[in-house]
Amino acid sequence: MKWFGWTLTVVSAMAGSAALSALVAFQYFVGDRSAFPGTVVLDHRYDPEQHSLPGHWLELRRRQLEKQPIYLRTPDDTYEYTFADLGVELDAAEMLSAFEQTARSGSPFGRLERALRARRGTLSVDARFSFDRERARALLKRLAPSVHRPAINAELDFRNHRRVESQSGRTLDLEATLRAIEQASLVDVPVVELALLEIAPTVTTDMLADIDVSKVLASFETSFRNKAGNRGVNIRRAAEYLDGTIVAPGAELSFNQVVGPREESRGFVWAPVIVNDEMEPGVGGGVCQVATTLHAAAVYGMLEVEQRRSHSRPSGYAPLGLDATVIYGKVDLKIKNPYDTALIVHAYLPTRTTLRVELLGRDPPGLVEHVYAVTEKHDFTRRVAAKSFLAPGAQERKQKGTPGYDVVSVVRVRYPDGTEKRRSYRSKYYPVPEVYWVSEGSDLSELPELPEGATHTEHADEPSADTETADSPFFG
């Protein structure tokens, strides 16, 4: 019995010693710590000897991570930014709370076990990040144009004898990309795939197969025999840009968008244009004749004319009501295809001074006629401008005057079954002043009598209220 009692005493003593050791270890490694030394966050260990307070260390890590790169990627490009650029940062307050939770929650032995793991560098706390969506949104809006790829419509390139296949485009899906950044893993070197939306072409390759170019819906020709020269260069160039354009079912053709800006770098040259009722040189003079020929073909093809404006004066190359004026960025001609099949625009010069526009792809709906009537006629004025470079007493007529007209057009189609359909639209042509240049101090009573239709004489610095000013030029 003595042996047994002695054994119990030894065991008891040993147990007491282990408990004491555990208590000492707990106090040494755990104590009342708010963070365990050696705890790892994003591959960095917390060292209280260098940073006595974990909050200071976490704030330092937050500032360091502002320069951390983050990559936004598309299938063909990668864009590098920083966390700060995208409004991503380590949430120091949340991290400090996580440190305290790790150090102070659970049983004493669980806390001791975590403290020992921290000492060995195997205890980590997941990083918490905050995300400024508005800062990221602003950056993505600036990035969006670089990511954007327009859809490419299928095209039959008559000039180069080739076929352009259709290709889908893409645009940035802003909201989906914001969610992707918010949900991305931000450890190591983060890469986020940009969310993209597909832009479908309005004219697909399949549509080309359905266009029967042997069928002519409508056509129209205009001549520039008496006004060739540089005007002819611009007419040919604009026709080349327009030629081969496909208008899908229900789609709209914008003349300005297809032909583009009238610039010398794009093959356009200087030629006379109409500015403030008078002819002046300008780049692209003559392009309106291409717009007019397209508009007339569209009228005879019973297309829907969404936007059109007549010239400020009647055109010598088209009947009243069939002309159309265009100014890049200001005045456009827009026509819409109302049919269930695609159409192709064939614009070309069958002779050196003749422009022809054909709408190909289907037969005419019936017999189409265009007639017009003048509902009101407006008299014109004589405009006199004194020019210092003229010799004393010199007089020179620079422009013949013509009346203005209010015109109503009626388009009528007779279908094969005998039924008819009509539509009407209006055009306005302003009076064109007769223009005289005279020397300074000239006696205006020596000018010829006013021609028929002219009401009075005005000086160039006193434009008539009926005429348009340089603020609204109309190019012919």
Per residue in 214-260, pLDDT (tens digit) is 899 999 999 998 777 899 999 999 999 999 899 999 999 999 999 99
Tell which residue, 424, 416, 431, has the closest CA to residue 321: 424
Q: Can you give the pLDDT at residue 276?
A: 58
Q: Which one of 42-46, 294-298, 466-470 scores highest in mean pLDDT?
A: 294-298
Beta-ladder partners of 166:
none
Q: Can you give the pLDDT at residue 161?
A: 59
Tell which residue, 341, 302, 303, 322, has the closest CA to residue 215: 341
* pLDDT beyond 80 at 294: yes
Strand, coil or helix: 136: helix
Higher pLDDT, 446 or 5: 446
* pLDDT beyond 80 at 19: no
Label residue 171 by pLDDT band (50, 70, 90). very high
Q: Can you give the pLDDT at residue 467?
A: 35
Higher pLDDT, 407 or 66: 407
Cβ neighbour number for residue 299 with a 10 Å cutoff = 23
Whole-angstrom Cα distance, residue 341 to residue 301? 13
Spans of all domains in the chain: 211-459
Whole-angstrom Cα distance, residue 284 to residue 270? 6
Token pair, residue 468, equals: 């348009």
Q: Can you give the pLDDT at residue 123?
A: 82
Tell which residue, 260, 149, 279, 273, has the closest CA to residue 201: 149
